[in-house]
Amino acid sequence: MKKLIYLLIFTPFIGMSQKHNNGKVYDKHPAIEIVNQFIKAYSSGDVETLKSVVSEDFRMANSMNNNPAYKGGDLNNLIGQSTFINNSFMDVSIKNMGGAYSDAIEYKKEGTFVQTFQEFIAWDKSNGFKIRTPFNCIFVFNKESNKIKRFWFTDNTAVWKKWNLSRETIKNGVIYKDHPYIGVVRKISYHLENGDLKGAFQEFSPNARIYDSNLLDKEYRTLEEHVQNVTSIFTQFEMISIDEVGYPDYIDYEGSGGVVFSWSLFTLKNKKTSEIKTMKVHSQISFNEEGKIVREDLYYNANKLN
């Protein structure tokens, strides 16, 4: 019992003894002001300011680069990167993300560091591609804490890879104006026009999702919910005709199934008032590799059904 009491008394002190103060953290600090100058100059292509706030032994690197041969860069690389960004992009901005703010840390041994938590946003001047990525950085200062000697940044490299691809001409499939899947979509229209809801949805996967442009309370409907919604419409309206506008296209995407794009004119008759209404409908029906419909995106003016 005495041993247990001893442990209970001294355990808190053992826990407290493990703490060690290795510096101080500031949300306002001269080093943060220097970093702000750096960020502003970097995002605007101000070469002279960049030169003035970094040390002679300045080095920089992307922390996300895992290439063993990668050694980062120096002042020339920094200037080249800043110049390239401003020549290639418009409306470049680097700002604090949400409620984040920079921290300056005065380590007892390592000196002054500044950490930023920001977001990089810009648009490609040639094709309008939008770059939006977290841009979190660590700045290491010299002994006098008045020059930046190390600049480590972290961003989303996948965004930059996608931007690189946006500047190329890349084929992503084949477009067909006649195809068996177009036939499947036409049979859906046939069954709907003839009031056969069971036949209309027989080619849908049980887990299919229906994305309706008129949905406000949810992102999509399940197939069951969609059938219930169509059934409700058919209790109010008689389907007179469904007519193609132009012709459907089937895009066979490389490696990920395909989509039939169709444009139709629905002619309906209100069962109570006998009023005839027309409604334009655009549909995008997605097929998986097994030929089953796994998704439909519908665009139409639901006010026509009032």
pLDDT in tens, 72-108: 899 999 999 999 999 999 999 999 999 999 999 999 9
Domain ranges of the chain: 17-166, 173-305
Rounded Cα distance between 262 and 188, Å, is 12
Contacts with 268 (C-beta within 8 Å, 6 or more apart), sequence order? 237, 238, 239, 240, 276, 277, 278, 279, 305
Do the domains 173-305 and 17-166 match in fold?
A: yes
CATH 3.10.450.50 fits 17-166, yes or no: yes
Question: Mean pLDDT in the chain?
Answer: 92
CB-based contact 112:145 (threshold 8 Å): yes
What is the pairing mode between strands 258-270 and 204-212?
unpaired
* Residue 291 exposure: Cα atoms within 13 Å on the Cβ side: 8
Cα angle at 16 between 14 and 17, to 5 degrees? 65
What pTM was computed for the model?
0.75
* 173-305: CATH number: 3.10.450.50
For residue 32, is pLDDT > 70?
A: yes
C-alpha 224/C-alpha 79 separation (Å) is 58
**Between 303 and 18, where is the model more confident?**
303
Burial 284-298 (b: 16+ CB within 10 A, else e): ebbbeeeebbbbbbb
Structure tokens at 192: 């709907």
The whole-number pLDDT of residue 13 equals 52
pLDDT digits (tens, 9 = 90+) for 156-169: 999 999 999 999 99
User: pLDDT tens digits, residue range 189-198?
Assistant: 999 999 999 9
Both structure tokens of 26: 């500031």
Question: CA 58, CA 142: separation in Å to the nearest integer?
Answer: 10
